[in-house]
Structures are given as C-alpha cells and as structure tokens.
Amino acid sequence: MAKKNNHKYIFVLGGVMSGIGKGIATSSIGKILQASGFRVNLIKIDPYLNVDAGTMNPTEHGEVFVLDSGLESDQDIGNYERFTGITSTDDDYITSGMIYKHVIEKERNLGYKGKCVEAVPDIVNEIVRRIKLSEQENRSDISIIEVGGTIGDYQNIMFIEAGRTLKLKNPRNVLFVLVSYLPIPAKIGEMKTRPTRMASGTLNSYGVQADFIIARSSIKLDEKRKEKLAISCNVPEKNIISAPDIESIYDVPVNFEMDRLGNKLLKSLGLKPKNKIDLTEWKDFVFKSKNTKKTLNIAIAGKYFDTGSFVLSDSYISVIEAIKFSSYVLGFKPNLTWLNSKDFDRTTKKIDSLKQFDGVIVPGGFGETGVEGKINIIKYVRENKIPFLGLCYGMQLATIEYARNVLGMKDAHTVEINSDTTNPIIDIMPEQKKKLEKNDYGGTMRLGSYPAVLKDGTIARKAYGVAEINERHRHRYEVNPEYIQKLEEGGIIFSGKSPDDELMEIMELSQKKHPFFLGTQFHPEFKAQPLSPHPLFTEFIKACGGKK
C-alpha cells in the first residue's frame, strides 16, 4: 500500500461527445497498471441526481449492474470488473445524487455547525471524501476515476473541480487523461482536430490541463495531427495516444501497451513499474475471441431492444459478454439474434423459426410487455429440446410455463402481472409487500449477493463443482413456497436453494427429459469474466454446441 500522502489519482474525462469508449479506456488503464504490479481501484462518477441506477430505464441508460453489496450501479462498473477482476464496493460508484443527499442530510443534522453550506467548497469536499473512502476500502496505490458526461457539461464541473483541488495539493500525484474524439466528416474526408482542441480549451478554463490525450477516431492518428494536437492542447506528443476503432474492446489494453501507456502514466506519477507488464493470458483470450470458427446461433428473447429505430443491446451487456466468454473457451463464435418477445405473444407460425437456434436465453425483465411471448418461446424450446437458459424473470417464466402446460394450472402466473390468479406460482415475499404498499419502490428488491446450496446430481452442482455458491440478485418476486412441493413432484428440480430452504435459486429439468433446461433466480452474468467464464453459461454453451 502506498504511503498515505502519496496516493495517486488518474482522472479520466471525456471530450467532444459521449459514447466514445471512456469506460473501456478507464478499464484498460486499470488493467495495465494492475499488470505492472500496482493495486488499483476504479471509480465511476455519474453526474445525474439519481441516488443509484436502480430506478432508471435500461433503454435510456443501459444495464443496471448490481454489486455484491446490492448497490445498483452503472454498466461501466461491469467493464471494470471484467477487465480487472476486482470486486467493486459501494464506494466505487458515485452519483451527484449521493453527494447532494449526503451534504443536505448533514446540513439538516447541524453537521456544518451553522455555517452557510455551498456547492464550493462543500460539495467538492464531499466528492473528495468519497474518492478517499474508495481508495481506503480498496487499499489501493492508484485510483482511476472516470468522470461521466463530457467536458462542457454543466453537471460534471464539480467532479473536475474535485480533481483540480487534489492536484493543487499534490501536483505530482494527479493526472488528467482526456479521452476525446476526432471526427472524419464524410463530405470533408479528413480527420478534424478542432473539436478536441475546443474540449481541451474548455478544460483549461476550469483551471485543468490534460496530461494525456487518448485520441479516439475511426482510423489511426497521423503525425501531422499529433503535432497539431500537442501544440494546441499543450500536451507532449508522446502523451497523445492514438486509439482507432478496433474489432474488440478487449484489444484496448493491448493497444495501449503497444504505445507503452502504462509506463508513461507511471512515469508522470513519479512511479516505476513493479514488474514488467505481462498481458499474456489476456492476449490469449483476445486471440481466441477472434479465431474461433464454429458458429453457434443463440437467441436472446427480451423487450428492451427497440428505442425508436435502433436496437439497444446495451441493456443486456453482461449477458452478451458472459455468452462470449464461455463460447470462446469452448472454441465457438456466438452469433446472437435478438428476439422481440412481443412478436411471439400470440402463437403463430413464427414460433417455428426458433428451430434454427442452437440455444435460447430469456434474460431478466420487469412488467407485462412481451411476457406471454416469452412463455410461448419457453414452451417451444422445452418441447423441442432446444437448450434454454432463463435468467431471473426467465427462470420465473419457465416455472410458470411448466406449471401451466405440464402440470395443468392453466392460470399460473406471477403476481407482478396478475395479482388475482388462483395459482400465484411466483409471489411477493411478505416484507417486500409492506414496502410496496407504501409506494417505496426504491427498496423493495432482493439485491446483491446471497448464498445458495446446490443439490447433488444436478446440472448446477456439476457445473459449479462446489456445494455452496454466492450470486447477485435483483428482483422483487420469488417462487411461491406454497407451490414448491407440487412443482417438485411434477418434475421441476430446484437444484439451488437458499440455505434455509425458503427461496428457490435454480430450477432445472432432468437431462433425461431435456438436454439443458435451467433457470436462475439470480443473475450469473454479473460474475462472468473473460479469464473466468461463468460455469452455468459454459454448461449452456456446451449443450448448444452438443450437435456440432
């Protein structure tokens, strides 16, 4: 652990526009500094006023990534965990909402002792306090802090100001990395540096000088433009890193290292690498991801795809990545098809199109839209022996489908959709019910890591290879305890249960009846990583590849 006053901070800021890969740049910097022997912690700052990401619509904000603690955070944290293998804590995620809430509560409790409370310095001080909590919690040497939004936004100024004040105290300990975009307008046909120079200028007007520029563009930056950026943005040429579009996000740390970014950052912070940066294992994974030939056709049936005219697969990013990791280790290339479950609400001939898939996933979800479609899809894959993986809602709906179509409980349902059903197979637990009655939606879910005990001789037990697991949850409803005996007698195997036997964590069908039919109440995708793919996804992919 670094000496107390010698902790290092790297602030990652965005220039020109959003969506250019600031999160991946942050994750990659974390990865290479970690590989050089330092303990790092990665912090995501979201400048919105929501206190967490839990109440946000995934089509607008992407996936809600749940931490072990249950904190509902931003999808960028998912990338941090996948790149670095770090298990994030509550302190690694900061929103303006959290900061303001804390300051206002402190003011109400006379925490400021009668003083006038102001954005500067009180909000800024609270941001710095939160950043320090994260570094202490992680006992890290270097904090890498991604400030959400783009330079010039009104919302993120306080966070940049926090970085500036940290640098003022200890100039050698703080770096600012500007991830910026250089467009090549179609009609002009050449790469333009002006927007990045404007972003750098705006940053200067905050009293902050970028130390590094990561120049994102569709192609490599040429020498002429590098020079131009160096002079106009006041950044040494060697600290301008060209970051062209590439095939896979997992290439980014490797590319950064080709430019020796790790050593350059360390040098600027007055540090020497503790060991030679070795990304061999990572490179193997990237190599496999590009050199697998056998294709698997996998369908994901959900509802969060259409925002206007384009598909937003960001809502399921952890699921997609989990599929990829397991496919690559087994030598497959997954070819994903998005099924809009609404299209299957009524049984039509269309259902037969499912035949073409090697496997089908029904991921998590909320509400009524497309639910009957998902149930129809599950019925089809069960009857036609197509490998099936249900995640959270997918597991609940698989249980409902079985109750309806195999056990004859025609109106079996979840009370989330039909509270009057005579067969509430999926129901709300009593404590949650009380909260919902008070409209307290923010705190009504089972969130975060919970243990489950696995039953011998099942797919789950075989896949994990251990008898007890911990997985992350995010749901309000559970399999109704009153139906468990009936469901088990009817053929459902609950292969994972909470240690007190109350909550059903995994359901599966015997492999004598179906090659792979399994659903989890939790979200295994949150713990899938490139270098340690998730065992349940791997078993699923194995089954999908069965015939190949």
C-alpha 457/C-alpha 461 separation (Å) is: 7
Binding window for ligand GLN (CB under 6 A); candidates: 165-173, 358-366, 372-380, 500-508? 358-366
* Among 70, 364, 524, 530, contact with ligand GLN (rule: CB under 6 A): 364
Among 161, 321, 525, 539, the active-site one is 525
Binding window for ligand GLN (CB under 6 A); candidates: 172-180, 264-272, 297-305, 474-482? 474-482
Residue 116 known to be catalytic:
no
* Among 130, 379, 472, 476, contact with ligand GLN (rule: CB under 6 A): 476
Q: Does 62 contact ligand GLN by CB under 6 A?
A: no
Nearer to ligand GLN, 32 or 445 (CB): 445
Min. distance of Cβ 476 from ligand GLN in angstroms?
4
Among 63, 523, 534, 544, the active-site one is 523
C-alpha 168/C-alpha 174 separation (Å) is: 9
Q: Does 206 contact ligand GLN by CB under 6 A?
A: no
Pull the structure tokens for residue 194: 């002006």
C-alpha 362/C-alpha 395 separation (Å) is: 8
C-alpha 75/C-alpha 64 separation (Å) is: 6
Binding window for ligand GLN (CB under 6 A); candidates: 1-9, 96-104, 473-481, 485-493? 473-481
Residue 126 known to be catalytic:
no
Min. distance of Cβ 428 from ligand GLN in angstroms?
8
User: Which residue(s) pair with 366 in the sheet?
Assistant: none
* C-beta of residue 256 within 8 angstroms of C-beta of residue 30: no
Pull the structure tokens for residue 170: 């200890």
Residue nearest to ligand GLN (CB): 364
Residue 502 known to be catalytic:
no
C-alpha distances (whole Å) from 247 to each of 111, 113, 192, 218 are 51, 55, 23, 11
* Among 21, 47, 334, 365, contact with ligand GLN (rule: CB under 6 A): 365
Strands 93-95 and 240-244 come out as unpaired
Phi/psi of residue 539, nearest 5 degrees = -60, -40
Residue for token pair 């249900």: 390
Nearer to ligand GLN, 262 or 496 (CB): 496
Min. distance of Cβ 469 from ligand GLN in angstroms?
18
Nearer to ligand GLN, 156 or 480 (CB): 480
* C-beta of residue 155 within 8 angstroms of C-beta of residue 47: yes
Reference 494, options 463, 539, 453, 541; nearest CA is 453
> Which residue numbers are catalytic?
392, 523, 525
Residues that bind ligand GLN (CB under 6 A): 364-366, 392-393, 416, 474-477
